Amino acid sequence: MTIGIPADIDLAGLPPPEVIEELSFEAILASLVAEFQARWPAWEMGALETDPIMIALQVAAYREQNLRERINEAVRSNILPFAIQGDLDQLAVFYDVLRLDGESDEQFRRRIVLAILGRSTGGTAERYRSIALSADVRIADVVAWREPLSPVIRISVLNSLNNGAPYPEMLTAVSEALNAPAIKMVNDTMVVQGAVKQSVNVSANVWMLPNAPQATFEGLEQALRDAWVQEGGLGRDLTQSWLIARLMRPGVQRVQIITPVADVTAPFHEAIALGTITLTDRGRAY
């Protein structure tokens, strides 16, 4: 029986909190003008651009907008999807999570969510994943699972560097964190491994538009690698359609993938690394 594929909660997909107010300077000013006119009907709004009453109302509207925005910011600082920097650190302390040195807000926020999901001491996948991610700030992702009929819990680790392959010290740090006496369940056996199990070489023919600079072609390989770093990961298939889409940058007229000859699939606990990338400039075409 598998532990399961952990899925992060999509914080960005939550509806916006109603307590955060959409602000409009014009709406605030109109409300102040209407209230002032109700109290002094004889006042003619906008008779002169230099009308001191109108100027005073504009100043009041500006100050009110700033005050409301400060209230919005205070609310955001106490809501996990919106809190940043020190405010996020303060929220995390409540869940016994501390920021790693060099950890970005988004990485930190993900670990906080996993810590909340895995607060049970019963060895949940989220708990193990949270602990593993806390072992090294360079870890991009982790998955914990158990094969059917197996007592062994396997942990796959994906590096954010080194084409996804974890460094030996990274695997050691994860193993030590998960096997700590206060963490490991007495009946759990942990096997920590790298997530990258296959490296795929890519070759393609590329036709450029007549007016495209040669630098566009020369930058295609690095652009493809950068895109895979951002969009690849555990369980992500490397498809021909994805390769074509990422190589079809402005100035490229056509792309023909030579290898891989078919889509390369990855199980949920593995990741694909890009090997050599060979792009052949086939000339200019419309």
Work out whether strand 152-159 and strand 189-194 pair parallel, antiparallel, or are unpaired. parallel
To the nearest whole number, what is the mean pLDDT of the chain? 88
Domain boundaries, the chain: 18-76, 93-194, 197-284
Q: Which residues pair with 280 in a beta bridge?
A: 205
Per-residue pLDDT, 18 = 75
pLDDT in tens, 231-264: 999 999 999 999 999 999 999 999 999 999 999 9
Percent of the chain scored above 70 by pLDDT? 91
pLDDT higher than threshold 80 for residue 33: yes
Cα gap 139→164, rounded to integer Å: 9
pLDDT in tens, 47-87: 666 788 888 999 999 999 999 999 988 888 888 888 889 89
Per-residue pLDDT, 5 = 38
Work out whether strand 152-159 and strand 196-208 pair parallel, antiparallel, or are unpaired. unpaired
pLDDT in tens, 99-116: 989 999 988 988 888 888
Burial class (CB within 10 angstroms; exposed 0-12, middle 13-18, buried 19+) of 286: exposed
Q: Which CATH topology does 93-194 take?
A: Helix Hairpins (1.10.287)
